[in-house]
Amino acid sequence: MANHARRSKLILVEGIPGSGKTSIALHIDRFLAERGWATRLYLEGDVHHPADYESVAYFERQAWEAFRSRHPEQRALLERHLVWRGEDGFLAYGQLSRQLDGRHDLPAAVWEELAARDVYNVPSQDTYRRLALAQWQAFADQSRLGEETFLFECCFLQNPLTVLVGRHNRDGAEAVAHIQAVADSVAALHPILIYLRQEDPRATLERVARERPHAWWDFLISYFVGRGWCQALGLEGPEGVIAFYEMRQRLELDILARLNMRALVVDTAPDDWENSHRTVEEFLQVGWDAL
């Protein structure tokens, strides 16, 4: 493989919903494994993600004391799963739910409170950015000396832009600065970013809305409409969601042009995955014969 790909320990796959991130990430994982690479793939929603907070509640010490006092019967179990990093407390409730697996259920009020305290729901965006950057830095420090290549779907661009712009309507420059800081934190891993651009974001979103459960589309409407970016522009319903993702793709492509990171932009289409796969393979394959 190319020198740039061989030395990379981090491959990022990004794009709006329906662009094919999961399909491309799985294909890259297979492609690299067939060539002897040691890879670790983390798809969207993986509660064991090493660089992202997926279903992780955040507590400051005073908030934790109040929380555990409200749930004395569950205190011992919850304390076993709380991790302190300085004055920041984290409880991976997504992992906890899977570990319990029906053997010891917690009251609904506990789960609801944990979800409300999710890192992505932290009211202070300064706190969110600090926690997110620290997690990326810790991941980079732990991974730099290893031999594995990590493959991440969506957490580098999608997640911070969803929170900072979509939820809180922060200035685009502020979001760009945060993403640049994250990019700097993982620079020693020589990351590669593969972006799946959509020629017509509206058509992509309308197609995927038909293919996925109604609850998925309803969640997007409830998340974006009535707050943040959509609220500031007076956008409502499905049109608000579509407008946000159209804006997000433009912003993400602009960010790519600013980052000092090797990147490939692929125009994907649901009826031409073979061509998309070949484009990605060629990007990774260039220079293989020269080694």
pLDDT at 215: 97
Average pLDDT, the chain: 93
Domain edges within the chain: 3-52+124-290, 57-117
| Pairing state between β 262-267 and 149-153 | unpaired
| Tens of pLDDT, residues 172-204 | 899 999 999 999 999 999 999 999 999 999 999
Tokens, residue 106: 């917690």
Q: Quick check: 49 pLDDT over 60?
A: yes
* Residue 3, pLDDT above cutoff 70: no
| Residue 207 to residue 261: CA distance in whole angstroms | 31
pLDDT band at residue 290 under the 50/70/90 scheme? very low
Question: Interhelix angle for 237-258 vs 214-224, to 10°?
Answer: 80
Q: Would you state the pLDDT for residue 130?
A: 98
Q: How far apart are CA 2 and CA 255, in angstroms?
A: 25
Range 100-110 average pLDDT = 80
- Beta carbons of 181 and 239 less than 8 angstroms apart: no
Give me the sign of the Cα torsion angle 264, 246, 162, 24. Answer: negative
Q: What is the pLDDT of residue 63?
A: 98
User: For domain 3-52+124-290, which CATH number applies: 3.40.50.300, 2.40.50.140, 3.90.1170.50, 3.90.1300.10?
Assistant: 3.40.50.300
Q: What pLDDT is attached to residue 289? A: 36
Instruction: From residue 265, give the alpha-carbon distance in Å to each of 15, 198, 238, 279.
Output: 10, 10, 27, 10
The reported pLDDT for the residue numbered 101 is 76
Pair of tokens at residue 288: 């293989």
Q: State the Rg of the chain over Cα.
A: 20
